[in-house]
Amino acid sequence: MLKMNTIEQELADAVQAALCTAFPGEETVGAFAASVVKTADARHGDYQCNDCMQLAKTLRLAPRMIAEKVTGVLRENQVVESVEIAGPGFINFRLSQTWLEDRLALVESDAFRGTPQVGEGQTVVLDYSSPNVAKPMHIGHIRSTVIGNALDRLHRYCGFRVVADNHLGDWGTQFGLILTGYRHFADQEALKASPVQELERVYVESYQRSKEDESWLDAAREELVKLQAGDEENLRLWKSFVEMSMGEFHKIYDRLDVRFDLERGESFYNDKLAEVLETLQSKGLLEESEGAQVVNLEEEKLGVCIVRKRDGGYNYATTDLATVFSRVEEFSPETILYVTDERQQRHFQQFFSVAKKVGIDTRMEHVWFGLMRLPEATFSTRQGNVIKLEALLDEAERRALEMVESSSPEMPEATQRAVAKAVGIGSIKYADLSQNPQSLVTFTWEKAMALDGNSAPYLQYAHARIRSVLDKYADQFPEGKPEEADFALPEPLERELGLKIARFPEAVLVAARTYRPNFMADYLFDLAQTYSTYHQSIPFLRAEPGVRESRMRLIRLVADTLKTGLGLLGIEAPDRI
């Protein structure tokens, strides 16, 4: 495997070295970490460095003076064709044509398309999806599943060891309500036919009764206490609820091509909760407040974190503490990521703060996302206002099948179905992943499936279109060997395309580092658009021999990059659409 840096990093290293040459013995320069970013406007070059402004103070020199000294050294560098100073002291780079062409050959041969394995030797525990048992997975859960899974794929691709854990809500207060409801009005026929739907109905109705009827709530509490005390009958029922739910969740995960390394759920930590209290006690962190046990976080302006309720029950935060102790011991992760919706921000702030007080120094991040809105509704199981994920996926595949049937009527039916699955499921995932996770997403079919917009079908189509050009080429020129042609980027559009391919690793890293898969989506959309312009304006099959092969090799790399990038978002790229 090749060890490659991103172009940004390679240029930053060159600037760093140039600074040291230009200012020998200068301590601030030695300790400085130069940085280079891509230019916002291609007319200014490919990359730029803004460091001279920052160094002006410490070096007591005008930024332009520094830039002049540095560029004097940088011009010798093979990577760049030109280095220019702009404005008060920006340095703009244009990459050397031959360097870029050679770079594409490296990218093509590298298993990770030039992505540096920055995660090597590091472990990330990724806590995502984590639906609640006996409630159906509704559309609100799709974001955690889809975003979490993309982060999983992106991190593995950068060399991290990822431990993906589905932290199911399989324990806790809802089971009191479900058990009581189950005893009074569960419909056994419906339970067999559609278990999770029936369990949800039972839960919703039981929840509503508990709002109107104090004694119903008491009965539910009693069932819960019995369950927690290990009552055989309640445990047996609970287990069956868990199994029914898991069966249903797994149907969805299979359809979404989502897999976990662990599915431990909250119940796994049940017998470790008392220990959490002991640990907190021994560190002098426990206080009593109105009969409950709490950790006081007033100093951090986070109120109090309840770890044991007045009735003796443990809380969500207590389970998360037990879970983090266990994860740290078992996996020694560098980072733990929690992917949930924005409503849990306070919970994670409190829990992280308590964990730190207890001595956990692992980096923990709450990767939160905004809620997803369908035009007329938001989602809450309690209101019974659920659009089930399954129905959404069915509808997506149905719409995609219509699309494929009309665009490729000659395709065998089984292939049409497979393509419709890739396009339908891909559309749902992409509609979610192409947005900043922290924004509020309004889902519409028109946007998700637009053939001419920023959507999965658009990208899948761009990919399939290249594959079909490559097939035509193979038909017309059976003797042709594009792999033996050199990458050549004489046309400006060609160079732009080549440069974008070479930037793929930068998109991977930024998406992984910021926990925002939408950076990968933006990258892919941009690449596909550039390709589309290229496709319309540059002849390939009719180009002269040699040039033609070069172009085939280039567009094949575009297709491979699109496919790899979509794969990192968990989206398939079929060869035909």
- SS3 assignment for 2-69: CCCCCHHHHHHHHHHHHHHHHCCCCHHHHHCCCCCEECCCHHHCCEEECHHHHHHHHHCCCHHHHHHH
- SS3 assignment for 487-498: CCCCCHHHHHHH
CB of 132 to ligand ARG, least distance (A): 5
Is residue 130 within the footprint of ligand ARG (CB under 6 A)? yes
Distance CA 528, CA 50 (A): 30
Nearer to ligand ARG, 253 or 338 (CB): 338
Residues 167, 201, 429, 551: which binds ligand ARG (CB under 6 A)? 167
Nearer to ligand ARG, 132 or 434 (CB): 132
| DSSP line for 415-475 | HHHHHHHHHHHHHHHHHHHTS-TTSPEE--HHHHT-TTSSSHHHHHHHHHHHHHHHHHHHH
CB of 351 to ligand ARG, least distance (A): 8
By CB under 6 A, which span of 32-40, 129-137, 466-474, 500-508 interacts with ligand ARG? 129-137
Is residue 149 within the footprint of ligand ARG (CB under 6 A)? no
Nearer to ligand ARG, 344 or 436 (CB): 344
Give Cα separations from 4 to 172, 432, 520, 528 (angstroms). Answer: 48, 31, 19, 24
CB of 165 to ligand ARG, least distance (A): 8
CB of 268 to ligand ARG, least distance (A): 12
CB of 319 to ligand ARG, least distance (A): 8
Q: Which residue is nearest to ligand ARG (CB)?
A: 169
Nearer to ligand ARG, 143 or 548 (CB): 143
Nearest to 474 by CA among 576, 574, 556, 577: 556
Residues 8, 108, 127, 223: which binds ligand ARG (CB under 6 A)? 127
Q: Let me know if 60 is exposed, middle or buried by CB neighbors in 10 A (0-12, 13-18, 19+).
A: exposed
CB of 368 to ligand ARG, least distance (A): 11
By CB under 6 A, which span of 128-136, 174-182, 450-458, 475-483 interacts with ligand ARG? 128-136
By CB under 6 A, which span of 41-49, 127-135, 297-305, 372-380 interacts with ligand ARG? 127-135
CB of 131 to ligand ARG, least distance (A): 6
Q: Let me know if 156 is exposed, middle or buried by CB neighbors in 10 A (0-12, 13-18, 19+).
A: middle
Encoded tokens for 65: 């003076």
Strand 304-308 relative to strand 335-341, pairing:
unpaired
CB of 386 to ligand ARG, least distance (A): 13
* 554, amino acid identity: L
Encoded tokens for 158: 């950068």
In eight-state DSSP terms, residue 233 is H
Considering only residues 309 to 348 of the shown chain, the ones binding ligand ARG according to CB under 6 A are 320, 338, 340
Query: Contact at 8 Å (CB) between 473 and 556?
Result: no
Nearer to ligand ARG, 56 or 134 (CB): 134
Backbone angles phi, psi at 47, to 5 degrees: -135, 160
Nearer to ligand ARG, 347 or 447 (CB): 347
Residues 169, 426, 517, 574: which binds ligand ARG (CB under 6 A)? 169
CA angle 420, 426, 429 (to 5 degrees): 145
Nearer to ligand ARG, 167 or 516 (CB): 167
Distance CA 379, CA 143 (A): 12
CB of 572 to ligand ARG, least distance (A): 27
C-alpha radius of gyration, the chain, whole number: 28
Nearer to ligand ARG, 135 or 429 (CB): 135
Is residue 51 within the footprint of ligand ARG (CB under 6 A)? no
| Interface with ligand ARG: number of residues (CB under 6 A) | 9
Considering only residues 232 to 291 of the shown chain, the ones binding ligand ARG according to CB under 6 A are none
Nearer to ligand ARG, 129 or 180 (CB): 129
Distance CA 577, CA 575 (A): 7
Nearer to ligand ARG, 131 or 505 (CB): 131
**Residues at the contact surface with ligand ARG, assessed by CB under 6 A:** 127, 130-132, 167, 169, 320, 338, 340
